[in-house]
Amino acid sequence: MELIRGLHNLRDKHRGCVATIGNFDGVHLGHQKVLQQVKQKAAEMGLPSVVIIFEPQPREFFAGSDAPPRLTRFDEKVRLLRDQGIDRVLCLTFNARLRSMSAQAFVDELLLNGLHVRHFVVGDDFRFGCDRTGDYAMLEATGAAHDFSVENTHTYLINEQRVSSTLVRETLMRGDFELAEQLLGRPYRVTGRVQHGNKLGRSWACLPPMCVCTASGARYRVSTRYGPAFAGMTLRLSVMSVSDRRLMAACRFWKYTCSIGIRISTGS
């Protein structure tokens, strides 16, 4: 999969594709259904599949620290999109210029001149451009004039609820990891940077994975794989400090982590 950072890095080889656009935070089952639509149409038309995302996410740009915490870091999101079989990810920097871009300029610069989109998959409630003046009807009209088609995304329901990043976030806040796994299509996981500690790991053959043992008062079984260097060693529980509110993990519902010799951080 190819990651393209910014419109300025688009080349002639990137013109002509089937695309969709969104935050794709969590890459949950609802997202995965959209990605299936994109891949299926791309295969039919013999074109690459493209997902357009933003960094930072628009709500983070507008709300700052009051924005909802992320379900997945940027790197993890890109990996999940790759695992879904997407050919290219175009990441647009959401800044003052993009925020002030008119809906028509957005269509002209991104969809027509930039990607030369042949088929666009998007929700019928999708709004874009300055003050959200662009809508699905505008995309259909533009597509008819410039020979590209527009397709509505399919809503995906579990327990009669629309699967969304907000629903996944609320589910994790309640500590319901089983339902979160159903919504995501995989167990929820978090990655973070390792902080400097006592540097004991330099002398060890391997490091065990981090394991959550409590969350929102609920207890979860801790399982860890050991290498020969850990024989006879004792697990030590340490309180996990959290500073990155954008990352969902540990922000509000993870309390402790099982740690051997190292401490982990959730900084981006």
Secondary structure (H, E, C), 105-163: HHHHHHHHCCCCEEEEEECCCCCECHHHCECHHHHHHHHHHHCCEEEECCCCEECCEEC
141, 132 in Cβ contact below 8 A?
no
Residues 123-153 have pLDDT tens digits of 877 889 898 899 999 999 999 999 999 999 9
The pLDDT value recorded for residue 79 is 95
* Helix or strand run (H / E) with residue 96: helix 96-100
Sign of CA pseudo-dihedral 195, 241, 191, 70: negative
Sign of CA pseudo-dihedral 251, 253, 255, 258: negative
State the Cα–Cα distance between residues 235 and 163, nearest whole angstrom: 37
Question: Burial letters for 224-247: b for 16+ Cβ neighbours within 10 Å, e otherwise?
Answer: eeeeeebeeeeeeeeebebebbbb
CA angle 71, 75, 81 (to 5 degrees): 80
The pLDDT value recorded for residue 256 is 33
In the predicted structure, residue 82 carries a pLDDT above the cut 60: yes
* CATH code given to domain 2-156: 3.40.50.620
Angle in degrees, 0-180, between the axes of helices 177-184 and 29-45, rounded to the nearest 10 = 10
State the Cα–Cα distance between residues 138 and 103, nearest whole angstrom: 9
**3-state secondary structure (DSSP) of residue 258:** strand
Closest to 188 in 3D by CA, of 213, 169, 207: 169
State the Cα–Cα distance between residues 48 and 15, nearest whole angstrom: 10
The pLDDT value recorded for residue 131 is 86
Between residues 85 and 233, the one the model is more confident about: 85
In the predicted structure, residue 19 carries a pLDDT above the cut 70: yes
State the Cα–Cα distance between residues 68 and 81, nearest whole angstrom: 21
* Average pLDDT rounded to a whole number, residues 103-109: 93
Domain boundary assignment for the chain: 2-156, 191-265
The pLDDT value recorded for residue 239 is 35
Between residues 58 and 189, the one the model is more confident about: 58
Q: Read off the amino acid at residue 253.
A: F
In the predicted structure, residue 86 carries a pLDDT above the cut 70: yes
